[in-house]
Amino acid sequence: MASPQDFPGADDLLALLGDLLPDAWFEAVGRGDEGEVLRLRSELDNPATVAALGNAGWVAPHYPVEFGGRGLAADDARKALTLLLDWEVPHVPRGSGLPLAAPTIMQWSSDETKRRLLRPLLAGEERWCQLFSEPGAGSDMASLATTAVRDGDEWIVDGQKVWTTFGHESEMAMLLARTNPDQPKHQGITYFALDMRAPGVEVRPLINMAGQLEFNEVFMSQVRIPDLLRISPVGDGWGAAMTTLGAERHALSGTRKKKRKASDEILGGKPYAEVEAVAAAPSPIARQDLMGDYIAGQVLAMTSQRARARAAAGHAPGPEGSISKIAKASSNQRLQETAMGLLGPAATAWEPGDHEAAEWVEQFLRTRANSIEGGTSEIQRNIVGERVLGLPREPDQCKGAPWREVPRS
C-alpha cells in the first residue's frame, strides 16, 4: 500500500490501526481481496473503531486539538484521511454530524460551544440528525414556524419538524427555530443544537415507500435548550444554515472520492457495474440505455474530478459543485430505471425471502428521493440560474415583510 505516511503523527496512527485491526485486514487490503475485507468488516466493531480514531483526533485531523482534531495542516490531514481510506478503515461516525453539523459549528459557534459539541460528535458518541424541514416549510425553508423563546440562560422551543433522517437513532440535532417573528423571514432565525433526549421531544417514525424506517416526524413541546447549545449568533441562523446546506449539496453530489464501488450509502442505487452485469444479452435499446448511463457516469466523474482539483488548489467552489447534485440525482435514477428494464418481470415479483431480488427494487425506490432530499432538483436549478448564470432572482411579493405578516398555508 503506497499511502503517503509523511505527516505528523503518522507513526501514532499506524500503531493505533495495528491495535484496532487484525493482521488479516492489512493482508487482505494489500492483496486487493475485497471479499475478505468485507468479511472482516462484518466482524469489526465499527462504532468502537470510529470512537478510538475520533478520540485520538483522526476523524477530523485538520481540526484544532482542543476541538477534537490533531491540528494538522490541510495537506497533512488529507494524507492521514487518504491512508484511512486506502486501508478501508471505518472512520466516519454514523449520521449527519461529521459532514453537516461539524463544519457549521466550526464556522459559527463560540469556542465554549465547540468544546461541548465537537469531541463527542467526532467520536460518534453523539449521532446527529437535521431538524430543518417543516410541513409548511420545505423548499421555502425560511418560512419555518418552530419558535424558540429566550428564558434566562435557556431557550424554550415549540414546533414540528418532518423528514428527519436518522431522527430515531440520534442523540443530537441541528435545529432551526424562529427567535424573532417581527423580522423578515430570513432574519430572526437562530441555529441550535438540540438534545434529542430532552423532555418534550417526541420522535414519530415514518415508513418510506421501500418499507424502510429512514425518516421521522419530530414534535417539540416546551423543550428547554441551554444557551451553550446555540450554534449561531442570535438571528444569524440563516447564514449558518447555508453552511450546512452547502455541505449537504456536496455530500449528495457524489463528488466525494469513494474506495468501494458498492451501492451508495446515502443516495442508494446499484452501481453501474452491477447493472451492466445483469444484461446477459441486451437488446439494442437496452444497450443504448446502458451506454447513456455509462456516459452520464463518466461525465459526472470528470466533473467531480474538476471540482476536487479546484478545491485542492484552494479555489472557492465553482459551478461544478452546483450542477453535480442535480446530475447525480438524475443519472442515479436513470441507471436504476435501466436496471428495472433489464430485470423485466424479476423486478416486479420474486420468491418470499429472496433478499437479493428485493434489494434491486428497494434500491430503485430509494433513489426516487434523490431529486427531493437536500433540496429538490427544481430548487437546485433555481440556484444554478440565479447564482451561477446570474439570471434574475425569483420574484417575492413579501420580500422584506415581517415574518408574522407573511401569509402561510
We find the least distance from the C-beta atom of residue 172 to ligand FAD, in angstroms, to be 13
- Which residue, 40 or 137, has its beta carbon nearer to ligand FAD? 137
> What is the rounded distance in angstroms from the CA atom of residue 162 to the CA atom of residue 182?
25
d(CA 401, CA 409): 17
Residue (198 or 379) nearer to ligand FAD, CB: 379
Work out how close the CB of 235 gets to ligand FAD at its nearest, in angstroms, rounded to a whole number.
20
Annotated catalytic residue 36: no
Query: Three-state SS string across 314-356, please?
Result: CCCCCHHHHHHHHHHHHHHHHHHHHHHHHHHHHHCCCCCCCHH
The DSSP 8-state label assigned to residue 245 in this structure reads H
Going by C-alpha positions, the residue among 291, 266, 265, 261 that lies closest to residue 276 is 291
Residue ranges that bind ligand FAD, judged by CB under 6 A: 129-130, 132-133, 138-139, 163-165, 215, 369, 372-376, 378-379, 382, 394
Nearer to ligand FAD, 40 or 189 (CB): 189
CB of 249 to ligand FAD, least distance (A): 11
Residue 225 or 267 with smaller CB distance to ligand FAD? 267
Residue 238: count of CB within 10 angstroms of its CB: 19
Comparing CB distances to ligand FAD, the nearer of 114 and 161 is 161
Say which residues have a Cβ less than 8 Å from residue 299's Cβ, sequence separation at least 6.
327
**Amino acid at the residue 281:** A
List the catalytic residue out of 88, 134, 248, 362: 248
Please answer whether residues 182 and 188 qualify as being in contact, where contact means their C-beta atoms are separated by less than 8 angstroms: yes
Question: C-beta of 160: minimal distance to ligand FAD in Å?
Answer: 12
Tell me the closest approach of the beta carbon of residue 354 to ligand FAD, in angstroms. 25
Give the nearest residue (CB) to ligand FAD: 138
Contact 241, 191 (CB under 8 A): yes
> Which residues are identified as catalytic?
248
